Amino acid sequence: MPRFALKIEYDGAPFCGWQKQVDLPTVQGVINVALQQLEPTCEGVQGAGRTDTGVHATGQVGHVDLVKAIAPERLMEALNFYMRNQGVAIVDCAMAPDDFHARFSAVERRYTFRLLGRRAPMTFDKGTMWQVKHALDLKAMQAGAKYLIGKHDFTTFRSTVCQAKSPVKSLDELSIEQLPYRGGVETRFHIQARSFLHNQVRSFVGTLERVGAGSWEPVQVKAALEAKSRAACGPVCPPQGLYLSAVRYEMDPFSPPPHAGKSSG
């Protein structure tokens, strides 16, 4: 039974998250319906991560097993045909080893959060960024973010309904940059780790926004982390600026094998 890896992007606004739910629109549900148009007995797609309601993806990864043999490019085209106008697209498709698992084989996940500081309302990018009307101090936010890098007990930045067995996680990267945006400034947060707690990224961004706005001093992020209490967290930011932007594997299923296509002569 061939296994396929899928690289998926989606607009999270119309969906109640990634994971399929009865009588609610979800990304996994849309893909599963499309798969069953091709193969009614297909058990569906498994994803690398469960994004929440309203969260987007530019680099979600899934895997699916099919009975029929089909070229990856034809599978991609067929799924995109059946999912047209639904805000979900397969942007890459490849054959994967039988032991590849979109979730359990992942060694790193990368999220990007987009925050717009501008007084004027958004027009073209509405629903794709969190907007505030004040300026944000980049250096202050970067100073606060440094306290979060490394291995810590992230209880403060964990949802009370988080089902992870332990609040201890290793955060590999939390970098922040600012870019000019029409009449304002876009702040982008890049967060990378093997795995995340529920609402961890949105808790980071909401807290660091308070630092950038001048309501918190950078060192208060350290105090909040060490408190190991949800009450010490800053506000949790809304989901519309959050993107699952990449998932990394030891053996990338979308990369050609070494020396592929090279002449032996």
- Which residues does the annotation mark as catalytic? 52
Do residues 83 and 57 make contact, with C-beta atoms less than 8 angstroms apart? no
Tokens 């949105």, residue?
202
Q: Are 205 and 222 contacting, i.e. CB atoms less than 8 angstroms apart? A: no
**Contact between 221 and 146 (Cβ < 8 Å):** no
Distance separating alpha carbons of residues 195 and 237, to the nearest angstrom? 20
CA distance 84 to 80: 6
> Please, which residues bridge with residue 131 across strands?
116
- Work out the widest C-alpha separation in the chain, in whole angstroms: 66
